[in-house]
Structure formats: C-alpha cells, structure tokens
C-alpha cells in the first residue's frame, strides 16, 4: 500500500481558495481500502450561487472573453503548474479514484496535461472573424462579417471514473474559447478538481471568477442549482444518460446550450477471418479500471463458426487477468468507486444469471481481497442480445459475449442498442472490417485495433450516448457562439 496522501480541501470561488460558507466538509474515501484519506469542502446552495455570480461577473466585466493573448498565457501557466506538481497528484488520483497507477502515466493524468497544448493552440486555429462577399437583400447591398465568440458562463459537471482528464477536457477548451467556468466534480473525486483550482490560484494570472471549483458531498443539489441558473449559458456534462436527461430538461427552462457525453454499450465485432487468438487473449482488457469507462466495448460479438474456440480463449484470458491493489503497476484493474456501484454491478450479474446467460468466470466479490469495492473480472457467454446485461450499461468488469451468424447479423446486433458511443470491428480483411465499421451507428469505432482517441479527434455519441462532441475542432466549437454582422458595402 502507498504512503498516506493528502489533497487540497478548499474550493476556488472568485479567485480565492475557500472553505464552504457553512464550514462543512465531507470525507474523501479510498475505494481500495474503504478508509478516509482526507476531508474536502462541502458546498451548499449559497456557495454555488456565489460561484455562478463570480463567473457571470468575470465574463461580463473582465477582458477575458476578448483577450486571446491573456488566455494563452494563463492556460500555459496552468499547464506548467499542473505538470510541475504531477508527482504529488499521482498518488492522490490513485487513492481517491482507485485508478491503477499505470493509467496515471497515460489517460488518467499525464497525457491530459500534455494534451492541453492542442486546445491552447486552437486559440490560433479558430477563424475568429471573416468577411462574406457583398450581398443584395431587399434592394440593399451589404457587407457581412461572421464572428466567433465565447458562449458565456459554462457549468462543467464531471464524473468520477477519469476525473482529472474529464475536468481538463471541459475547462481547457471552455477557457481557451473565452468562457468563464464553474467546475462541479463528482462527490467521490473532489481532489482531482481542487488540485486544478489550487494550481490555477497559485501559478496563473487567470482573473478572479474566470475559473471556479465547487465541491459537494450531495452534488446533485448544487448541480441542480448550476443547471437551473439562468446566469449560466451552457452545461458541459459527462456522466450517466439518466442524469444527462435530467440536466437537459432542467436547462431547457433557460434554453441553455448542453453538451452531453453519456453512457455506452459498445460492441466489438470479431469477424470470422480475425486473428481469434490475439483478439480473445486481450479480451479481458474490458476489465481495465474495473470496466468504469463509457466507451469500453462491453459486448463481444463472436462468429458462431468459431464460437467455442473463442469462448475457451476468453475464459483463459479472464482467469489469467491480474487485478487488485491499484498501487501495483501490474494491475490494470482496481476497485470500483464505491459500495453503491459495487452493489449495482453485482445486481446486474445476478440479473444476467436469472435471464439465462452462462457465467464462465467470476461473478462475485474476490475472496482474496477483504477490503475495497472490488468485483471479480466476469465473463458471461451465450448472452441474449435483448437481455438486460446486453442492453444496459453495467460500468463494471463484465463482458457479455453474443454469438452471431452473418456480417449483417453482427451489424444488427451491434446497433440493437439505445446507446451509440463506440465500437470495434476486427478481421483479417481491412476493407471488409472498415465497411462494417461504417455501418455502426456510433460516434467512434476502432478498426483492427486502431485507436481513435486523441486531443484532436472528436469524441461523443449517437442516440442516447449524448449530444455534441468533446475534443477536436467540433469539441472546441461547442464552446463558441456565432455572430453575423451586417455592414454597409465598402
């Protein structure tokens, strides 16, 4: 076990690192040990309202929205500060998220600090204003200019699975585009947000109120304040589809712009000419980070002609998968985030059994780990594509294997989902695999193990997996308005 860690317990509101007005705090719990690792400010409605007022004032009364050089300088200062203290952050992320330490050298921490560069460079990449040719309308000739402007005050609401990455994925493009931000992290992972608040306060010239970080134990209450407040122009949300719908409905009262990155139930189609050995040997990778990732391919579609062979290979892969203490660099699966999530996942496993799927590996709490919210890597085969475990997002280390007959069958099963976030197609013939990938109704697809993720690649969902895109130019433009100005002809 790692040595004890501590994180920033104060929020950032209106340029100050502050306690909650009530003085209340709540416990941050390590999901691997079930022990408290420290306290953090527990905001009430008043604290959130103060943060919203500060963000509104900063947008309306400072030069942040117009001064692109200031934004570039401040965001580079933030990036440098985050990078400078990253070795102090690493154990905090492992302790509060239960994230395997190996992942902190990539997507959970280091990669996202480096990836800030792309959004900062977008400040120079955006066409902030351009002229259209003169045009006649009602007998009048006019010149026209199209301007890009920030949306205004952005509420960023983030989940606990990749908290530091998702916090940065929202606040960096939002700030770079000239918005002001209130970041509300998930209650389980407050330090991944307060760290950013402290670094912003200590290392940067970001004006007071431009970036605010508000933590709360009952985050739905302050989250509702944020999504309902008419001073907020946009909510950028990552989390469950149910909460996304709630935020959209609440935001509708003031017609807020909403960006939603929601759940998934992605399918990995293994074609009959695939390298089955390689595909199935790596099949247990879906258990990485306990399966707590919205874009993980949690359904595997195996051709019936090679089904038994595939199931045997998967069984071996799941039985040999190493998991446990997230501080051990060999473990790519740690605990789930909390007891509620563990019980939810175990509930789905029971449901899978009662609905007739065949449990091949796992299915319970690991006998060798008496502390921590762990669930065994779990392999279900013979899964009915309409059953609960093939349709609902489990958010645990559970793979549902489904047999299919023809390529058309595979596409139909893959698209038989209310979600449309991601997917994969793997086969021996790249053209055939690519043609199938194009038929999937999802926002991203991996073909023959090609990785789609990157700061410049748009990510998001079709159907109930979301609205809009994060990352890439479409992701940056989520945070921009468009204004057209009519001018007299020259």
Which lies closer to ligand ADP via its Cβ, residue 158 or residue 426? Answer: 158
Round to whole Å and give the CA distance between 389 and 436.
24
DSSP 459: B
Are the C-beta atoms of 195 and 92 separated by less than 8 Å?
A: yes
Round to whole Å and give the CA distance between 413 and 167.
34
Which lies closer to ligand ADP via its Cβ, residue 76 or residue 246? Answer: 246
3-state secondary structure of 424: strand
For helices 86-97 and 191-203, angle between their N-to-C axes, nearest 10 degrees? 160
| Residue 294: active-site member | yes
Which lies closer to ligand ADP via its Cβ, residue 9 or residue 184? Answer: 184
| Least distance (Å) between residue 87 CB and ligand ADP | 27
Site residues for ligand ADP per CB under 6 A: 157-159, 184-187, 219-220, 223-224, 227, 239-240, 243, 246-247
Which lies closer to ligand ADP via its Cβ, residue 185 or residue 472? Answer: 185
Beta bridge pairs of residue 267:
299, 423
Could you give the C-alpha distances from 467 to 420, 421, 453, in angstroms and in order? 11, 11, 18
| Residue 74: active-site member | no
Which lies closer to ligand ADP via its Cβ, residue 420 or residue 466? Answer: 466
Q: Which residue of the set 96, 261, 477, 478 is catalytic? A: 261
Round to whole Å and give the CA distance between 380 and 403.
12
| Least distance (Å) between residue 244 CB and ligand ADP | 7
Q: To 5 degrees, how large is the angle CA 212–CA 214–CA 217?
A: 170
Q: Which residue of the set 122, 294, 376, 464 is catalytic? A: 294
Round to whole Å and give the CA distance between 336 and 161.
9
Could you give the C-alpha distances from 123 to 88, 120, 386, in angstroms and in order? 30, 6, 46
What do you get for the CA distance between the two ends of the chain, in Å?
Answer: 72
Residues forming the active site = 261, 294
């Amino acid at each position: 076990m790692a040595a004890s860690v501590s994180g920033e317990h104060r929020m950032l509101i209106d340029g100050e690192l502050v306690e909650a007005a009530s003085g209340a705090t709540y416990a941050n719990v390590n999901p691997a040990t079930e022990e408290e690792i420290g306290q953090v400010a527990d905001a009430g409605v008043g604290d959130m309202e103060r943060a919203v007022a500060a963000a509104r004032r900063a947008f309306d009364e400072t030069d942040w929205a117009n001064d692109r050089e200031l934004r570039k300088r401040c965001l580079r200062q933030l990036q440098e500060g985050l990078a400078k203290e990253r070795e102090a952050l690493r154990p905090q992320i492992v302790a509060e998220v239960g994230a395997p330490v190996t992942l902190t050298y990539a997507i959970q921490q280091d990669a996202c600090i480096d990836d800030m560069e792309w959004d900062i460079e977008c400040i120079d990449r955006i066409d902030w204003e351009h002229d259209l040719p003169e045009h006649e309308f009602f007998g009048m000739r006019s010149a026209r200019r199209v301007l890009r402007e920030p949306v205004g005050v952005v509420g960023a609401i983030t989940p606990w699975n990749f908290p530091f990455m998702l916090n940065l994925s929202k606040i960096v493009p939002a700030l770079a585009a000239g918005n002001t931000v209130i970041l509300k992290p998930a209650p389980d992972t407050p330090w991944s947000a307060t760290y950013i608040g402290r670094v912003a306060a200590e290392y940067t010239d970001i004006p007071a109120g431009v970036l605010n970080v508000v933590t709360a134990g009952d985050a739905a209450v302050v989250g509702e304040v944020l999504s309902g407040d008419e001073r907020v122009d946009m909510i950028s949300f990552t989390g469950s589809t149910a909460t996304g719908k709630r935020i959209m409905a609440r935001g509708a009262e003031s017609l807020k712009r909403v960006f939603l990155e929601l759940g998934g139930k992605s399918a990995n189609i293994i074609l009959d000419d695939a390298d089955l050995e390689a595909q199935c040997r790596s099949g247990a990778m879906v258990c990485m980070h306990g399966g707590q990732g919205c874009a993980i391919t949690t359904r595997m579609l195996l051709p019936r002609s090679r089904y038994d062979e595939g199931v045997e290979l998967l069984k071996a892969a799941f039985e040999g998968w190493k998991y446990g203490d997230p501080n051990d660099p060999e473990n790519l699966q740690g605990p789930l985030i909390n007891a509620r999530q563990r019980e939810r996942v175990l509930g789905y496993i029971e449901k899978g059994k009662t609905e007739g799927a065949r449990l091949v590996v796992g299915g319970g709490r690991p006998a060798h780990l008496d502390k921590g919210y762990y669930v065994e890597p779990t392999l279900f085969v013979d899964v009915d594509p309409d059953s609960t475990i093939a349709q609902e997002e489990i958010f645990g280390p559970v793979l549902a294997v489904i047999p299919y007959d023809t390529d058309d069958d595979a596409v139909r099963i893959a698209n038989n989902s209310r979600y449309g976030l991601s997917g994969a197609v793997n086969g021996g013939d790249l053209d055939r695999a690519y043609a199938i990938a194009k038929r999937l109704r999802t926002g991203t697809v991996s073909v023959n193990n090609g990785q789609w993720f990157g700061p410049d690649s748009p990510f998001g969902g079709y159907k109930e997996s979301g609205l809009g895109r994060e990352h890439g130019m479409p992701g940056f433009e989520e945070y921009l308005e468009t204004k057209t100005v009519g001018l007299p002809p020259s």
